[in-house]
Amino acid sequence: MALRFLKLLAPALLLLIAAGLLIDPVAQLPAAHKLTLSQLPYALATGVALMAYGFNRNQILFATLNLISAYLLIQLGLQVSLDQPGAYVLFSALSLLVPINITFIATYSEKGLFTPLGLTRLGGVLLGYILLLLLWSNEALAGQLPNLPTNMFEMFIDGRFLSNMAAVFFGVALITNLIYFITQRGYGSTGVLISLIASLGIFIWFDQPNISTLLITAALIGMGISVVQSSHKMAYLDELTEIPARRALQDKLATLGKRYTIAMVDIDHFKKFNDTYGHDIGDQVLRMVAAKLATVSGGGKAYRYGGEEFTLVFPGKDEAQALPFVEQIRELIANYPMYIRSDNRPEDEKKGAQMRNNKANADYTSVTISIGVCEKTDEYADPMAVIKEADNALYEAKKNGRNQSVAAHYKPEAPKRRRTRKDYA
């Protein structure tokens, strides 16, 4: 799990670290170059927002709008000393508004944007910034300085610019984001967490030159990467079983060399599972079979072909070499007790394992698969032709009684049985 989290966050964290290292070099650039750099976040935000909208990643879309709105006010009103009353009030307000918005965005589900709920959320993200922009434009912020609470003047870290109150709001936002990041493990939660880390860095090291430009640029690039990763997952991973889908199989078939074997796998009596236990149990069966197939050895790779059918691809192997690994995975599934997940069965894996060990009151069944295997030959030189012949072998396995593997060409010899005295008699 830790590796998965690191994989999700690693690109953005590296970008944010790089942004921090660029503070001094960027400070040495000519003023014209700095001005051009300061416009970069607007272009990036536009691109990321359009990508997020196109792939229905509204969490990243709202997080992008939250970041770029704060950046706009920083560029407009905070390019002066914070000793000025209006600037300090604006800075203090932003240090609360940004984490408040991020906290709510972290809890949002991926719903359509142009719906009553989506538009309400959009308005909630932008409303605070619109009000602050109006107050700043009318020079009404300076008069609010005496109304700020004391803990907005007390710094959370000596010599830094994060007040005690802002630290509390960022703390709440961080806890909320981590909860949703751990439980959802999605790219939307990743993007929101990236925006939080960047925002926190900006308000802590606000005195550093170009800090908002650099960190927001890095965060937006990282969020864009999250959208791309999300779209790749949608296209190439099967949502139910979380193994590569048919599109990924098509790409793999295009790269196979002159020698390979393809196995077509079908769950025996799958319709019976759905009719007997319901579609939820049928989904459990698909996930279990996919998880076992994904552990296939011998260089094989598992894909979901469609419905209850899966595909195993063995590059560089013929039928005789692939068949032992195919049989190994078939027996693994056949010998695995499929425990029916009741309403009171825990989601926790350790508790689930304890219940599996207690067989007295367990409700379980068995699942078997039939497999057809075919290698590339002169007769079946095209991958789709190999798949078709593997399907024919699969139908033969079904016809012969199921729960077995049949190869299109290779027929292993039956093991010789040791003769007994009864045979001689």
301-306 and 260-267 strand pairing: unpaired
Q: Which sign, positive or negative, has the C-alpha torsion 47, 50, 54, 58?
A: positive
Q: What is the CA radius of gyration of the chain?
A: 29
- Residue by residue, DSSP assigns 90-101 as HHHHHHHHHHHH
- The greatest distance separating any two alpha carbons of the chain, rounded to the nearest whole angstrom, comes to 112
What is the distance between the alpha carbons of residues 58 and 298, in angstroms, rounded to a whole number? Answer: 41
Phi, psi of 227 (to 5 degrees): -65, -45
Closest CA to 4 of 180, 179, 182: 182
Q: Is 359 exposed, middle or buried (0-12, 13-18, 19+ CB in 10 A)?
A: exposed
Return all residues near 3 (Cβ < 8 A) that are at least 6 apart: none
- Report the alpha-carbon angle 417-421-424, nearest 5: 85
Which residues are marked as active site? Answer: 308
Asked if 390 contacts 262 with a C-beta cutoff of 8 angstroms, the reply is yes
